[in-house]
Amino acid sequence: MYVATLLTNPNTPKLEYALVESLRNAWGGGDVVWLSPDEAAEFTFAYLPDNQWEAWSELQLLEVDLIVQPVEKRRKQMLLADMDSTMIQQECIDELADEAGVGDRVKDITARAMNGELDFEGALIERVGLLKSLDEAVIDKVLEERITLMPGGAELVATMRTNGGYAALVSGGFTAFTAKVANELGFDENRANTLLAENGKLTGDVQRPILGKQAKVDALEQITSRLGLSEEDVIAVGDGANDLGMLGRAGTGVALHAKPSVAEQCDIRINYGDLTALLYLQGYARADFADV
């Protein structure tokens, strides 16, 4: 059995009953279950349709996300999340670069790296090098003034943990940021790169080994092994090329507002919903969300 989930932006919910019913009828689905009025609904069906991606494309024009997946084992026991442009709305290194006066140069490198055009490790070393001599205190300033959480993140982490899940934040960014974000959102652990500093100034280098694409896969393997879980038990979320390894290995890999070259390699794409979409995918209704 399969389940089709339709959802839209919770700030402007406009999922129409007739639209959901039309798809259900076309695919021979069971009764529609509304997970949140006007925002998210699902139905089950027996066979994968030939026109799944055609339907997806048509719904995208209506600002509706469509996700199709097997019903079995869709509720996961572990969340593995990227941070930059996933759990937060910014790229931390771009914000630091703005403060250092090299914002445009660094943002260009970041965009190309996240799109898979540049080697992640080399791009990180180049960008961090441009931050050399930046006052270390600027990190706290950026955290306070520039970093905002992605909508739905608090509900996602809290609901999964309330239901016995484990939450890990794994970032190619920096520990100075993941530590605060993980604490604020309630993650069980976080992993990231460490910016090096001397005498209160950034040295322009990062501690080795660098946490990149493979390190995220390693985290998936290590944490699941430690917890006695399988990779099938994991829902992973990210937006950049360095997330593709963990997205491909996790039981459910979600490309959230991802770069086009990343999204096209993922079967589960969220372009209009927020992070609560990861709960709807698992069959949680909004009434099931933990209070935050």
Q: Which residues are catalytic?
A: 82, 84
CA distance 234 to 220: 8
CA distance 15 to 61: 13
Burial class (CB in 10 A: 0-12, 13-18, 19+), 56: middle
Which of 221, 215, 254 minimizes the C-alpha distance to 236?
A: 254
SS3 content of the chain, % helix, strand, coil (to 5): 40, 25, 35
Residues 216 and 170 sit within 8 Å (Cβ to Cβ): yes
Three state DSSP letters for 190-203: EEEECEEEECCEEE
Angle formed at CA 208 by CA 197 and CA 184, multiple of 5 degrees = 65
Residues 248 and 268 sit within 8 Å (Cβ to Cβ): no
Residues 88 and 263 sit within 8 Å (Cβ to Cβ): no
